[in-house]
Amino acid sequence: MPVATEKPGTETRSILAPTGNRVRLFEEHKRKKETTTTKSSEKPKKVISRPSPKPAAAAATVVRCNVSADSSSDSSSSSSSGSNVKSGKTMVSTRIKNCNGVVKAAKIVSHGVEALTLTTAFPIPVKRCDWITPNSESLYTCFHDEEWGVPVHDDVKLFELLVLSQALAELSWPVILNKRGVFRKVFHDFDPTSVANLNEEKLVSMRVHGSTLLSEPKLRAIIENAKQLLKIQQEFGSFSSYCWRLVNHKPIKSGFRYARQVPAKTPKSELISKDLMQRGFRCIGPTVVYSFMQVAGLVNDHLVTCFRYNECIHTVENDPRPSQLDESRSTTGDNRHIR
């Protein structure tokens, strides 16, 4: 059998398989074609880098009404906080804290933060003395915030507060404040001279809304005290000078933290009460005197936790009258003492 010789330049034929070489050749040709098509279809992809939003820029949103923005950009799996990748956009979550410390979530937007508009600003509740409660009458609360404990140097005002302190033995502060207009009308706006000239019998028989304003001893005492107050004015120059010299022209700062610590009377009030009674004042016990000292600002009995405690102290520091009184006393050589 002749041997087949390979001619140069000719393609080598595949060895015959048991089933022939047509199928084998077809599969190899198909595989090469697919490989060539795949390589030609692959093109280099362009990588587009997008600048990520800066959380610091989002946190720079200015929020009014004492509201602070607290932005966070975390990579945690939680969708409520941090930076979340959603639909190819960077979502930044921001929390807004109002003046009361209440945290509210801001509206989430892409590449920035839109702060929520707070329609209602909640004021920080102030701390008052324990005897002022949320159920207290507004008139009583205003009296505490504006008058009680404020140093008074006007004789007419001091006489009014002395009369109201005497009425406190029979009535409460809310009742007295509601009848304050009636008190001022009956006692001629608490002018000491006018009150001293009132007719006692007429005053005692007077009826206000079908009843007497105070008991008969209290009404008679008010007229007598007005007469004695005029004598003090002649001796000391003013009732204010007499009162403030008893506390060295400076309010006494108690510094109580709890209402149970506030006394009904003190040795100082007992001393003043004794001196006033020796001068002819009536219905003027130590408890009445101490109530008068509290309301007239001779003693600062606001609790240290009350916002009015420091405000009353600042009122005294900014008031030049105590220093003027000390200066006038030193220049005139006033050596008068309590009896």
**Which residue segments constitute the domains of the chain, with CATH numbers given?**
55-114 (no CATH), 138-332 (1.10.340.30)
Nearest Cα to 220, choosing from 233, 206, 201, 192? Answer: 201
Asked if 94 and 70 touch (Cβ cutoff 8 Å), the reply is yes
Q: What DSSP string describes 78-135? A: -SSSSEEEETTEEEEEEEEE-TT--EEEPEEEETEEEPPP-SS--PPPPP--TT--TT
Q: What DSSP string describes 31-52? A: HHHHHHHHHHH--PPPPPPPPP
Structure tokens given for 11 = 């393609």
pLDDT in tens, the chain (339 residues): 444 544 554 444 444 444 445 555 566 666 777 766 655 555 555 555 555 555 544 444 444 444 444 444 444 444 444 444 444 444 444 455 555 555 555 444 444 444 444 445 666 778 999 999 999 999 999 999 999 999 999 999 999 999 999 999 999 999 999 999 999 999 999 999 999 999 999 999 988 777 889 999 999 999 999 999 999 999 999 999 999 999 999 999 999 999 999 999 999 999 999 999 999 999 999 999 999 999 999 999 999 999 999 999 988 777 766 544 444 443 344 444 455
Assessment of whether the complete model's pTM goes beyond 0.85: no
Give the CA count within 13 Å in the CB-facing half-sphere of 180.
13
- Cα–Cα distance list, 29 to 24, 38, 327 (Å): 9, 15, 121
